[in-house]
A = this chain, B = another copy of it.
Amino acid sequence: MSRQHAEHGASGRPAGSTTIRTIADELGVHPSTVSRALREDESRKISAATRARVLATAEALGFRPNPVASSLRTKKTRTVGLLIPRLADVVLARMFEGAEDRARQLGYQAITTSTRDEPGSERKLAEGLLERRVDGLILATSTTGDPYPDELERRRIPFVLLNRSSRDHPCVRGDDELGGYLATRHLIAKGHRRIALIAGPPELSTTALRRQGFERALAENDLHSDARLVMSSSLEPQGGFDAGTQLLARPDRPTAVFAVNDATAVGVMAAARDLGIRLPDDLAVCGYNDSDLSGLLPIPLTSIALPLRDMGRAAVDLLLARLTGQAAESVVLAPRLIARESTSRPARHP
């Protein structure tokens, strides 16, 4: 209440100037009493009257509890670490937004770092977060052979996987097998029989499962899977462009392409353009993720939509469940096909 405090306008005193002790002195009670009064939970050890007084002067003094002190004592930081491959990837960014949002709702802070897909950086960065004493980790980075989740398990460090699964660690992901199936079935329904797959990198669960769905759809329709029509690639547009250029230069080129993400699908479209192949008449293309660009391309792109934001949210929920020792069931969310112009024409067989 002194004059020096009055300077700090709208937002009260500078953060940290008033502590639990200031309040205690003001009221002539013990700091521990203040502490208990401030946290509801404490099994009714505080009279309603003093609690009210504490709350009132806390408010009046603009008290902001110091989470650092609290963390030191409780050994909980109310912080979760989120590791993702690249932030500039729209898909991951959206999951991040969901996660960050949900974490904040629950009184947690999400802290995120991107591994840039550099080898070994997943582990290094995760350890960095652990040194900062995050309560748990969300990994959106793991690959199929990745030993790191196993190690975390052994070390009893709470974590969940996001988007990409590995072994049977708790994971929140889309149903990629189903997504691949839906995409391919859609193309088959349009009459396509020579369907290529831009498969992405093989060591990711996402791409591997989309491929399985692709093959299941082919098999169900008595189409043989032609290994020459399945191309590994990066997940960047350039990868789609390179693979697409090879595929489309073949004499018996495919009439449809399923690309495991939108970025490579865009690359394929660019390759087609350079080869003078017109969409959607001469070639159908289906992507994955339904990034916000899909609908705005000159030829709007058919794609598989995933509830990305919900996935981020669910990952946080799952992790927090693990933190409180509850049973943590993996979550698999359903994808949805969004049909657009890029697959609008029936196949024209040569």
- Contact surface of A with B, Cβ cutoff 8 Å: 7-11, 14-16, 64-69, 71-72, 75, 77, 86-90, 93-94, 96-97, 100, 104, 109, 111-114, 116, 127-128, 130-133, 151, 154-156, 237, 241, 266-267, 269-270, 273, 292-293, 296-299
Contacts and interface: CB of A to CB of B under 8 A. Distances in A.
A200 B66 CA distance: 41
B64 A68 contact: no
Contacts of A15: 130-131, 133
A147 to B, nearest CB: 9
A131 B67 contact: yes
A311 to B, nearest CB: 14
Contact of A97 (B9, B10, B114, B241): B114
B296 A16 contact: no
B128 A104 contact: yes
B113 A155 contact: no
30 contacts: A9-B151, A11-B127, A14-B155, A14-B156, A16-B133, A64-B131, A66-B133, A67-B132, A68-B71, A68-B72, A68-B77, A87-B87, A87-B93, A87-B94, A87-B96, A87-B100, A88-B93, A88-B292, A90-B90, A93-B93, A97-B114, A100-B112, A109-B132, A111-B111, A111-B112, A112-B112, A241-B296, A269-B298, A293-B293, A298-B299
